[in-house]
Every structure is written in structure tokens, then in C-alpha cells.
Chain A
Amino acid sequence: DQQVKQNSPSLSVQEGRISILNCDYTNSMFDYFLWYKKYPAEGPTFLISISSIKDKNEDGRFTVFLNKSAKHLSLHIVPSQPGDSAVYFCAASGLEKAGTALIFGKGTTLSVSS
């Protein structure tokens, strides 16, 4: 029973356009959400996060949107760059503090072509 779902295994976007990666969750106790980026043969690296008290968090080219009523979040990358090509994992936790295991989705592979 997956609590965090990334229904699109892959996404292809042209350089300069917007990339939108989606994530759905089922557990209403989740109150903190994170996006990680992973290159081959490397560990995931933290990208951006959002607390459930917010509906948007922005960091440079990356923006995360949270729709609590729909239990849905999305990551927008604009403009997309070839270096953004990687696997993106959505993750959630039940408490906004260190010490809670993250529940991950299966990931979406983003390919940005030049």
C-alpha cells in the first residue's frame, strides 16, 4: 500500500520549458514534504521542501505547490535545463522535525533535451 505515489515514471521536456512533476499521498497525517533529486550512482540530494501550513515554497527555478485537500503536491522547474535531467523523488513525513523516517515515492525520471 503506497502512501506516496508518483504516477508518472518519466517526463521529457525541452530546455527552457517548464517541467511539472506530480506527487499524491494518502496519509492525512503527513505534514512535511520534500523533493529529492538523484543522479545515477549517487545518493539523493535534497532539493526543496514544504510544510503543510504553506501552499507554496519557491527557491530559484524550483517551486513546490501543496494542495492539502487534494493530497497532492507538484514540483515546477522553470526554465528547465539539461543538467536537471535526473530522477526526482517525492517524500513525506509525519512530523516536521528531524527524526522521522521519510516515505518516498518511486520517482520520476526527468529528461531535459537541448
Chain B
Amino acid sequence: GAGVSQSPSNKVTEKGKDVELRCDPISGHTALYWYRQSLGQGLEFLIYFQGNSAPDKSGLPSDRFSAERTGGSVSTLTIQRTQQEDSAVYLCASSSQRGYNEQFFGPGTRLTVL
């Protein structure tokens, strides 16, 4: 079966531009997470979606970051007015209610802000 997919795999953008990163979770998984991994760091939680509930946005680093999840499936992470410190690998994960927090990760999108 298909795992979590993300697109694009790589994105290079200029400072100040907006970017959109896409995540397709595993079919049937109700929970979806976004994390990012900056160079030399661990994974940092950004935002979490569970079914139709309001998302947990507590990890978003600034109001330039937003995310939506349409129809309980695909999610888009948007970064407005990108800064160089936004350069990182952005990882999406999904899990099922029966998964006891075993999260399945996509390959990530490597974002480079010049």
C-alpha cells in the first residue's frame, strides 16, 4: 500500500517569496502532523490535524506559517514571506487511532531559502 507522500521533494526559493508544501497521508489515517528538521537538529513539531477537530497549531514558529487539511485527507503547509531561517526539511506524518502514536513519515520536502 502507498505510504505518506510529499511534494515537491526539493524546493529552492528566494527570500520573501511564499511556498506551499503538500502532504498526502496514508489512506484512512485520521491524524496528520507536520514537523521540520533544521540542520543538526531533531524533528520539531509544527501542527497537528485530527479528523474534523480544530488543528493544534501550538508548534508553528510564526504567523507566516499556516496549514490546512481539505476533506480530512491532503494537507498543505504554507510559508509566507520566507526567511533564510525557514530552510529545513519539512516532514509530514500520519497515524491511525489504533496506532498508539506510531506515526508514519513521508520522505520530506527540503526547502532552501536563498
CB-CB under 8 A for A102 and B43, given A41-B107, A42-B107: yes
A106 and B100 contact, CB distance less than 8 A: no
A99 and B102 contact, CB distance less than 8 A: no
A100 interface hit (Cβ, 8 Å): yes
Say whether chain A's binding surface is mostly helix, strand, loop, or mixed. loop
Total A-B pairs, Cβ < 8 A: 74
CA–CA, A96 to B99, complex, Å? 9
B4 and A93 contact, CB distance less than 8 A: no
A99 and B42 contact, CB distance less than 8 A: no
- B104: nearest residue on chain A (CB-CB)? A46
| Binary interface encoding of chain A residues 35-51 relative to chain B, with 1 for a CB under 8 A from any of its CBs, else 0 | 01000011111100100
| Binary interface encoding of chain B residues 31-69 relative to chain A, with 1 for a CB under 8 A from any of its CBs, else 0 | 101010000111111001010000010010000000000
Q: Which residues of B contact A104 (CB under 8 A)?
A: 35, 42-44
- B53: nearest residue on chain A (CB-CB)? A99
User: For chain A, which range describes its interface: under 10, 10 to 19, 20 to 34, or 35 or more residues?
Assistant: 20 to 34
CB-CB under 8 A for A99 and B4, given A49-B100, A106-B40: no
A97 and B101 contact, CB distance less than 8 A: yes
CB-CB under 8 A for A98 and B43, given A43-B4, A44-B105: no
A99 and B45 contact, CB distance less than 8 A: no
CB-CB under 8 A for A99 and B50, given A42-B107, A89-B43, A104-B42: yes
B6 to A: closest C-beta gap in Å: 8
